[in-house]
Amino acid sequence: MAPGKKISSKRKLWFVIGAVALVVVLIVVAINKGQGTSGIKVVTGKVQKRTITETVSANGKIQPAVDIKISPYISGEVIELYVREGDEVKKGDLLAKIDPEIYISSYERAGANLSSQKANLSNAKARLAQAEAQFINAKLSFERNKKLHEQDVISDADFDASKANYETARAEVEAAKQSVNSAEYAIKSAEASLKEARENLTKTSVTSPNDGTVSRLSVEAGERVTGASQFSSGTEIMRIANLNAMEADVEVNENDIVRVSLGDTCEIEVDAYLNKKFLGEVVEIATSANTEGVSADQVTNFDVKIKVFPGSYADLIPEGKRNFSPLRPGMSATVEIQTETASNKLTVPIQAVTTRKDTSESREFSAPQEEGDENALIDEDMQEVVFLFVDGKATLQAVTTGIQDDKYIVVTEGLEHGQEIITGPYRAVSKQLKDGDEVKAVKKEDLFEGRN
């Protein structure tokens, strides 16, 4: 055989030996790797005592606690505006003036009518005095004629005439008295009309009903406004708000409203002030749902009012501006209502708690059904459980839970302080793990190591 062919055969032999060795090495590495990663990788944690606070989240707007809508009592043209938006006013300060000319005329006409009715009363009293005098004369004449008639001195015709004059005079006295009463009532009516005209004239001057700030000005001088009536609240010309007492008006979902109580402490975040939290408390809870503009398929909410403590934003008030308010009506707010606090209680991370169906009297539990499983809707008793980490195995433990916050949940029964439990991954805890499964505890950052 030629020397070149021998060299080629030797080279092929070494290639085969190298390939076999590489395969062997890869198999050994795979076996070692498999032996080192037996069981499901999990993250564990300890059962610890903590203080947690349960909260209810809600969104809404910042509004003044006192926000008075100013509407005129009478209709007319606004001829003067004495304030601008943002001005501070005191109770009784003049805010606006409505054209008073027509109301001056009405007042003068009512005064003249009252004077006329007083004159009518005087005439009625004079007629009453005259009628009473005539009645006395007729009465005396009748009494004389009666005696004469009894003595047959005068005829029956003369006696009857005297009696008729007497009855007529008495009726005229009663009529005169009624005229006096009518005139007195007419005076009272005229006085009431005069009082109404005077009040209407006075109401052409719109004054502030309270101390506060003009938070909104809705009209300009020269515009016509409508007065309030039993059918309408009239034209809103401005609003007077007390900006030293602010509140957050929020809507709470019907599923959460049962946990909210008067006096609950709240943390308030306002979009205009980043990284700043204000404090407050629940001061009003609606007893009926907010149904305005709500359709059948929308979520039902309840209105809740939360007083904002002035001390929580005192640092935002510039020096020397005592009445300045950093919170303005209409600002967007997010509120965390602290409904309940549990102090020094056993807690675990929320993701460590899952549910299993109790499938037998021996307290064996089955994992939740996968989506699409036709048995997933079977009505069976559900039990909250956690998985203990004991000697490399997952041990299922039934628990009873209490309140929770956004990270932890209170466990009232089933666990002891310091026990090690499996906290992740979520799919393993909620779906994959079963009682007795072998698991391997790793660090959270190594949980998904080696996955493509």
Q: Is residue 363 predicted with pLDDT exceeding 50?
A: no
In this prediction, residue 142 has a pLDDT band, given cuts at 50, 70 and 90, of: confident
Residue 374: predicted pLDDT: 41
pLDDT band of residue 2 (cuts 50, 70, 90) is very low
What global pTM score does this model have? 0.64
- Per-residue confidence (pLDDT) for residue 373, from 0 to 100: 47
Name the average pLDDT for the chain: 84
Asked if residue 449 has pLDDT above 80, the reply is no
The answer to whether the Cα torsion of 26, 31, 35, 40 is positive or negative is positive
Separation between Cα atoms, residue 399 and residue 385, nearest integer Å:
5
Is 380 a residue whose pLDDT tops 70?
no
pLDDT, residue 13, reads 64
Any idea which residue has 């938006």 for tokens?
85
- In this predicted structure, the answer to whether residue 445 has a pLDDT above a threshold of 80 is no
Region 57-77 average pLDDT: 92
Return d(Cα 302, Cα 432) in angstroms, integer.
40
Encode pLDDT of 399-440 as tens digits.
Answer: 999 988 888 999 999 889 989 999 888 888 888 888 888 888
Tell me phi and psi for residue 253, to 5 degrees. -60, 150
Of the pLDDT bands very low, low, confident and very high (cuts 50, 70, 90), residue 323 is: confident
Instruction: Examine the pLDDT at 66 and tell me if it is beyond 70.
Output: yes
Question: Which domains does the chain carry?
Answer: 41-50+346-371+378-446 (2.40.420.20), 72-99+204-240 (2.40.50.100), 102-202 (1.10.287.1700), 242-341 (2.40.30.170)
Q: Is pLDDT of 35 > 50? A: no
pLDDT of 7 over the 70 cut: no
Q: What is the pLDDT of residues 153-188, one digit of tens each?
A: 888 898 889 889 989 989 999 999 999 999 999 999
Identify the pLDDT of residue 12.
65
pLDDT tens for 211-264 read 989 989 999 999 999 988 878 888 999 999 998 899 999 999 999 999 999 999
The pLDDT, as a whole number, for residue 31 is 47
